[in-house]
Amino acid sequence: MKGIGYVEYRKHRMLNEGLKSGNIEKPGNERYAIYFGRSHVIDHETKSVARGPLKIGRAKFVTALMRGRNQPGIDFRVYAELILDSNDATYDVEQAIASHLACYWMEMDQNQQECYDINDDRLLKLMPDIVEIAHKTGNNILETKIYIPC
């Protein structure tokens, strides 16, 4: 499957940051992110996988966000993320990205506000522009991660 799921993401943080499982979401271990992800769901009758629109949002703990989205049987997978140095930065950068990608915004029937009609190839092509937009906000980007094959 494309992207990185909850279990893999936790392992990634534990391995790369030396965190223990129970400490990932403790104060001091925040990872301020702008994430780009999709919900994956398996049809219980046909067993085929369907994927939702691209969701772009912000999180202090991506693991907590993923865990919540996964509760009803969804596999929420992160395709890319920008790691920033503060919670305030996530607001600035998210707003700048949303403004830049407004032409891709999708009107959803449950009033979701962060869904975009961007396929995987287009996301890969847009990432350099997105990083540039984030830099223009004056906020510090600590990392850029892409979890889908290029």
Residue 98 has a pLDDT of 95
Residue 107 has a pLDDT of 85
C-alpha separations of 101 from 14, 23, 52, 98 in Å: 33, 35, 17, 5
pTM of the model: 0.92
Q: Does residue 34 surpass a pLDDT of 70? A: yes
Task: Calculate the average pLDDT of the chain.
Answer: 93
In this prediction, residue 71 has a pLDDT band, given cuts at 50, 70 and 90, of confident
pLDDT digits over 73-129, tens only?
A: 899 999 999 999 999 999 999 999 999 999 999 887 776 778 999 999 999 999 999
Across the range 22-42, mean pLDDT stands at: 95
Q: Does residue 31 surpass a pLDDT of 70? A: yes
Q: Residue ranges per domain, the chain?
A: 6-146
Q: What are phi and psi of 82, to 5 degrees?
A: -110, 125
User: Which DSSP category does 102 fall into?
Assistant: G
Q: Which residues contact 27 (CB under 8 A, 6 or more apart)?
A: none
Residue 8 has a pLDDT of 94
